């Protein structure tokens, strides 16, 4: 079967095929080590947060869900909303709150690692490049950082909405919008933008940057007739 | 007016096209368009559009001999009573916004941009209808496969499609710019 003539169609077929292969490899081979790595790094970040040394951690429940112990800084723990959530009666002594236990479905961290196979497929389907391995390594590292950031943001959003820490309607709307983007847009869009940013040859093809100009029609000898034409080249 | 330059503004050559300008307009367009998508006054219009897509999906399934009914944003199979919902993010709006932001940021004439927005949006929604109908059939037979195809496979394939749609449009813009340049020579 001859290859399609259009470079765009060739790229579409190559990228889609590679993505399906890499998605299968991700699902059956890579997902478990990736989630283990994400758990280790999440545990480390939570440990580094204020109050994290005495109360933080990530464990996996029997059903696969993740249980995060998110440390709460003292200035937050003393807030009325938090104290009420932890059952402080009016006039009683403040409840000593050190952390918040949050259970998230295993689908959430899984979702934040989806960007890897998409990024790899977009880059590997692009034009050959001497810097290919560097592009793959840099993009993978940036996506790992993004996955970590997205998971922490999701955790913090969940803590905030459960304890109702944000009270202003405008701040709440903004907070919800950012979380919507974090869950529904960033995991898909980030690999695409990273591939276009890091893979300069692919970017050059898409934007026609640095591409060889296509041969224009042979210029006709300049005659009186051509000079009388409607359009004239700008000097 | 022999000194006037009536050549329509063509796509800029690679040397003329500033990446910073593209990125700035792209980022601003993304922020504005996502802001509009999530703004409460826009929600009813987006919901109407979503219901229209579900109705179109049911119509297409029936046209090809299948059985499906549309009920708001739900697509149902009358015999098995299986139904799927087209949620807010499942109507192709995200990838459409991505495409619009890229088209608006790319140096081209307004006519070319309008053509890119219309044709690109139509192409995205054709793919999205195929996606939604295929998910309906996959979901009817296997729930686990439905989740996998819905969350991981199709959304990413839509991203690849969107990139290629933009690339195809940018290619045509550049070619028409070259034709204009060649004609002007």
Q: Return the percentage of chain A with pLDDT > 70, whole number.
A: 87
At residue A233, does pLDDT exceed 60?
Answer: no
Rounded Cα gap, residues A90 and B141, in angstroms:
55
Task: Give the single-character DSSP code of A91.
Answer: T
CA distance B154 to chain A (A): 10
Residues B167, A206: C-beta atoms closer than 8 Å: yes
- Global confidence as pTM: 0.84
CA distance A53 to chain B (A): 36
Among A114, A207, A216, the strongest candidate for a mutation testing the B interface, having the largest count of B CBs within 10 A, is: A207
Task: Give the single-character DSSP code of B94.
Answer: H
ipTM field:
0.84
* pLDDT (0 to 100) of residue A202: 92
Q: Return the percentage of chain B with pLDDT > 70, whole number.
A: 86
Rounded Cα gap, residues B108 and A71, in angstroms:
51
Sign of the C-alpha dihedral computed for residues A231, A232, A234 and B3 taken in this order: negative
Give whole-number Cα distances, A206 to A77, A195, B14, B38, in Å: 51, 11, 11, 30
Q: Which residue of A has its CA nearest to B93?
A: A185
H helices of A92-227, where?
107-112, 115-124, 132-163, 169-184, 186-198, 200-207, 224-227
CA distance A206 to chain B (A): 5
The mean pLDDT of A158-185, rounded to a whole number, is 87
* pLDDT (0 to 100) of residue B1: 38
* pLDDT (0 to 100) of residue A56: 84
* pLDDT (0 to 100) of residue A80: 77
* pLDDT (0 to 100) of residue B181: 62
User: Does B2 lie at the interface with A, CB-CB under 8 angstroms?
Assistant: yes
The mean pLDDT of A3-26, rounded to a whole number, is 92
- Cβ A20 vs Cβ B153: under 8 Å: yes
> What is the domain partition of chain A in residue ranges?
18-210
Q: Which residue of A8, A181, A209 is in closest CB contact with B17?
A: A209
Tens digit of each residue's pLDDT (9 = 90 or more) over A57-107: 899 999 999 999 998 887 777 777 777 777 777 777 777 788 888 999 999
**First-to-final CA distance of chain A:** 48
> What is the domain partition of chain B in residue ranges?
19-170
Residues on chain B touching A232 (C-beta within 8 angstroms): 2, 5, 184
Tens digit of each residue's pLDDT (9 = 90 or more) over B29-78: 999 999 999 888 999 999 999 999 999 999 999 999 999 999 999 999 99
Structure tokens at A85: 């959530």
- Which of A148-157, A211-220, B18-27, B82-91 is predicted with the least confidence, judged by mean pLDDT? A211-220
Q: What is the dihedral of CA B61, A19, B94, B20, to 10 degrees?
A: -150
At residue B23, does pLDDT exceed 60?
Answer: yes
> What is the CA angle B20-B24-B27, rounded to 5?
135
Tens digit of each residue's pLDDT (9 = 90 or more) over A178-204: 999 999 999 999 999 999 999 999 999
Please state the φ and ψ torsions of residue A180, each to the nearest 5 degrees.
-60, -45
The mean pLDDT of B94-121, rounded to a whole number, is 95
For residues B105-118, b (16+ Cβ closer than 10 Å) or e, as one string?
A: bbbbbeebbebbbe
Rounded Cα gap, residues A114 and A147, in angstroms:
9
């Amino acid at each position: 079967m001859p290859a399609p003539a259009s470079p765009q169609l060739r790229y579409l077929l190559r990228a889609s095929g590679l993505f399906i292969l890499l998605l299968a490899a991700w699902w059956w081979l890579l997902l478990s080590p990736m989630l283990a790595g994400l758990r280790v790094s999440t545990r480390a970040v939570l440990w580094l947060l204020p109050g994290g040394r005495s109360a933080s951690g990530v464990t996996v429940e029997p059903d696969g869900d993740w249980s995060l112990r998110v440390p709460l800084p003292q200035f937050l723990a003393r807030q009325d909303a938090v104290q009420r959530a932890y059952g402080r009666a009016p006039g009683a002594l403040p409840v000593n709150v050190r952390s918040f236990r949050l259970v998230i479905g295993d689908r959430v961290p899984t979702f934040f690692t989806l960007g890897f196979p998409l990024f790899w497929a977009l880059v590997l389907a692009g034009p050959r490049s001497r810097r290919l391995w560097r592009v793959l390594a840099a993009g993978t590292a940036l996506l790992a950082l993004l996955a970590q950031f997205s998971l922490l943001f999701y955790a913090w959003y969940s803590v905030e909405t459960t304890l109702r820490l944000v009270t202003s309607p405008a701040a709440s709307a903004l907070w919800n919008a950012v979380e919507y983007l974090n869950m529904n847009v960033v995991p898909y869009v980030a690999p695409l933008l990273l591939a276009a940013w890091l893979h300069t040859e692919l970017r050059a093809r898409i934007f026609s940057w640095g591409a060889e100009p296509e041969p224009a029609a042979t210029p006709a000898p300049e005659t009186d007739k051509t000079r009388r034409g409607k359009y004239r080249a700008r000097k | 007016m022999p000194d006037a330059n009536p050549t329509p503004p063509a796509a800029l050559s690679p040397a003329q096209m500033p990446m910073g300008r593209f990125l700035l307009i792209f980022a601003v367009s993304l922020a504005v368009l996502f802001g509009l998508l999530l703004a409460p006054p826009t929600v009813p219009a987006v919901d109407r559009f979503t219901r229209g897509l579900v109705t179109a999906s049911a119509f297409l399934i029936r046209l090809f001999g299948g059985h499906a009914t549309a009920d708001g944003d739900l697509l149902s199979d009358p015999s098995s009573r299986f139904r799927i919902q087209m949620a807010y993010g499942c109507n192709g709006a995200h990838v459409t916004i991505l495409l619009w932001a890229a088209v608006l940021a790319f140096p081209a004439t307004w006519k070319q941009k309008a053509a890119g927005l219309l044709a690109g949006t139509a192409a995205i929604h054709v793919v999205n209808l195929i996606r939604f109908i295929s998910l309906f059939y996959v979901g009817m037979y296997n729930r686990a496969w439905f989740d996998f195809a819905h969350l991981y496979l199709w959304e990413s394939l839509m991203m690849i499609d969107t990139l290629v749609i933009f690339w195809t449009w940018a290619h045509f813009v550049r070619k028409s710019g070259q034709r204009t340049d060649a004609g002007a020579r």
